[in-house]
Structure 1
Amino acid sequence: MSVVHDYHVHSNYSDGTPMPRMLAAAEDAGLRAVGFADHCNVSERDHLRTSKREYGINLDRTYPFRREGIESLRDRYDLRVFDAVEMDYDPRDESEIAAFLDEADFDYAVGSVHRVEGTNVQRSSPFADLSERERQAFVDDYYERLSDLVESELFAIVAHVDLPERTPELRGYTTPDHHAMLADALASSRTVPELNAGRVRRDYGQFHPAPDLWAALRERGVEFVAGSDSHDPDEIPARKRELDEYFAEREADPVVLFE
């Protein structure tokens, strides 16, 4: 079964491309449904509020305007278009996240851990001068937080579940114990992980999750949705092909939600 639903693309309401161009590319690629899961953070901590303003990622305020845009576009493309969100998760913000999701009433929410104690997992510079022990402790904290995300059941989907592997300074610190902890949490949760193609054709060159974590999850019967994590129209068809091949080679089918 080929990938027909892509649950994770971005628009210019966060760090992607205007929705009409993304939808045209998705339609041409043969998708039947696409979800705009733009980045969103509802934390009131000063450094995060400042970052949101600096980078213009303010979906917590702009989602009604994006929703109007999605409604106006739905009849113009032969696609089901989901009005979704990718939320930054921190256990300190659970009540604020829950209240926002209840108020906004998105079609679904994707949960992500991009930061641990304010440090971005995807940047090399914070880890360059750390010892191996300090790097290991950071990765331990990442998986603890990701398991908390899953157990919170605030989200339908959890994104890029081994994000530290993308960062050269943190690569290789993910352990079988991390795999087991996350797999156990997902096996007993309604939250579904994605097979994320966001770096398969770029510097990292792999899917999230990496093969060993994929295997640990599959051993427990965990299934996956497909997420291209596309920010540009050209990424959609290329990443769809990669996702199709990955699922086919492993004789697995992507989960289709909300039908």
Structure 2
Amino acid sequence: MTQSTALPALFISHGSPDTVIADTKAAKWMKQLADGLPRPRAIVVASAHFEVSGKVAVSADVDPETIHDFGGFAPELYAMHYPAPGEPDLARRIVSDLAAAGFDARAVESRGFDHGVWVPLKLIYPDADIPVVSLSVDPRQGPEHHYRLGAALAGLSAEGVLVIGSGSFTHNLGVALPALRAGQRELDVPDWVEAFTSWMNARLAANDVAALIDYRAQAPFAVENHPTDEHLLPLYVALGAAGPGGEAGLIHDSSDFGVLAMTMWRFSPAPAMAPAMSEA
């Protein structure tokens, strides 16, 4: 039996836009994350901030722009750019794979990198020298849809393509805003956040896909942590992209502003089996 060298899929909690300039545990972790990964030939990011209803959009720009899709932050953030190239051929291949799996998928142009794409990548791959394709999530569809979406991309990891789901393990922005505006990053984690993240982590470690897909009914304080679930949907893309029988590993667990869990997971494909030797 030989081990597969396929890349894992990652779920990254990207946090607020200023994570890229913040001295937080999550930012420090992302800065060293690439050291433990084979260098990908390309990166596909399913971003919580790329919302498209009724179809799957795949960015196909040659030179995507950097989108500053936020307000009220430090001026230096608006001067930042992430000049990674796109890869239209990969985008078209993804559209073909998704269509074969029954999705209405389309390549789109004039779609730059939103902060769900460029903020984590600027920390993980600061040289911006790896082609990047971004993938939309559908706010009208739930976890099962996005798990199947990820599963349709499972073959990419063996070809050197890193699939990242970029969202937030918890995302009640209404509760987080006062602390965010006051810059109070180091706050205690409330019990209702801890209960939710503990449940999710346990289910992910157990590879309990059925329970995870039904998280809004089964997880404690699910709606309180995700009033809308677009920021958790990229998790399911990453989970599906590892393929069946993969291994889940918790790679980072911290919090920001008390209620934003910056939890991150790695989903490794199942080891490939070597073909059996026949007797002479």
TM-score by length of 2: 0.29
Higher relative contact order (CA 8 A, sep 6+): 2
Q: Which one has the largest radius of gyration?
A: 2
